[in-house]
Amino acid sequence: MSLEQREQSEREQASRMLPPAPYPEPAPRRVEARREHFLSEIDRQARSRSPRLALQSRGRWGLALGAAAGAAVVVLTLNSGSPGAPSNVPPASAASVELLERAALAAATTPQTKVRDSQYSYVKTVGHTSVLSETKSGGMELLRQNEAMEQWTSVDGSEQTLQRKEGNDKLLPGTPGRGNLNSPTYNFLAALPADPGALLERIRDDAEKNHGAGSGSTTGPDQEAFVAIGDLLRDGVSPPETTAALYRAAALIPGVDVVPDAVDAAGRKGVAVARTHDGERTEWIFDKSTARLLGERTVLVEDNAWGKVGTVVTSVAVINSGIVDEAGQATRGPKGFRNTTQYIDDSEHARSNRRL
């Protein structure tokens, strides 16, 4: 199958998985502007890493341009849009780029209210993570840890974070301060670059320090960047433009693809953007109708110490999120609502695990 045929097949796959988006087709000038942005981003990244690559970049990077989900989508077709990526890793698939652009548009059109430093970011999740524990006989067993919790983080990082698990409240040690990529505050997220290429470079530079060459890490900066963006989207509350930039930055990471059917920890079915590394597939699950993030899970694609193929090692669903005035306060309904299409309270979740 030729390159053009593969891209066309991927776009058709995306259109089958997702219904038509409620966004108008972009004007031709917007399409051309998006195309020029991606071309300049490729040149900039290549030039910063290697003068030889900068000279060759326009000839070595293939581009497929189209209007998908009401937005211009540029698909890198020969090499990765991520500097320093292994040459054997394919670029993000056309279907994943289209889905991430749709998610970015959904985020960008979310109503934004003025946020005060005295307020708190609120996130409520359900789900589980897994740990390996050694048994008395010397074997290993997989244990599930409950990840149902609520958390309130000071917008400006001046107050301690309040966490509520299984009815018990505790203040996490210290204060977030300005925040960072591992412990973001709303103000930290708001200050991140709005340009997807610059944002990805910021995240990858941080990942390179801990997971790049010479670090001893087998994760690698691309996988770590994908995981880091997923954590920011799932655990942080950010301005609409920052959320949109995070989705578009993820579309520049090589190896990203789509899983047509996925189920989050709350039992809601959706379509996932995913990246596979070392036998594990990390999935971000989106509502098929709204392209809003439902949750994240990790699924084994190879047998290993964690279990057999198909085992869901971790699964966390975002139930509610937003900005509130006080720690301990929850948002209810559409106001302050960000990630899902419906608010689910504890009692309803306990009664039913059906798709809401």
Q: What is the pLDDT of residue 214?
A: 63
Determine contact, residues 110/240, Cβ cutoff 8 Å.
Answer: yes
Round to whole Å and give the CA distance between 73 and 257.
15
- Give residues with Cβ within 8 angstroms of 335, minimum separation 6: 322
Model pTM above 0.75: no
In a domain, 34, yes or no: yes
Q: What is the pLDDT of residue 99?
A: 97
Q: What is the pLDDT of residue 48?
A: 41
Round to whole Å and give the CA distance between 329 and 119.
11
In a domain, 332, yes or no: yes
Phi and psi at residue 224, to the nearest 5°: -65, -35
Round to whole Å and give the CA distance between 89 and 92.
9
Write out the chain's pLDDT in tens, 356 residues: 655 665 566 556 655 555 555 444 444 444 445 545 544 544 444 444 333 322 232 222 233 333 333 344 443 333 334 444 455 889 999 999 999 999 999 999 988 889 999 999 999 999 999 988 888 888 888 899 999 999 999 999 999 999 999 999 999 999 999 999 999 999 999 999 999 999 999 999 988 886 666 666 667 889 999 999 999 999 889 999 999 999 999 999 999 999 999 999 999 999 999 999 999 999 999 999 999 999 999 999 999 988 999 999 999 999 999 999 999 999 764 433 343 323 333 333 333 333 32
Nearest Cα to 284, choosing from 321, 332, 252, 250?
Answer: 250
In a domain, 182, yes or no: yes
Q: What is the pLDDT of residue 132?
A: 85
Q: What is the pLDDT of residue 23?
A: 46
Domain that holds residue 278: 3-351
In a domain, 356, yes or no: no
Identify the burial level of 196 via C-beta atoms within 10 angstroms of its C-beta, where 0-12 means exposed, 13-18 middle and 19 or more buried: buried
In a domain, 211, yes or no: yes
Round to whole Å and give the CA distance between 19 and 296.
21
Q: What is the pLDDT of residue 219?
A: 78
Compute the 3-state secondary structure of the chain and give helix, strand, coil in percent, each to the nearest 5: 30, 25, 40
Determine contact, residues 315/326, Cβ cutoff 8 Å.
Answer: no
Phi and psi at residue 303, to the nearest 5°: -65, 135
Query: How many structural domains does the chain have?
Result: 1
Pairing of strands 256-263, 168-171: unpaired
Q: What is the pLDDT of residue 136?
A: 84
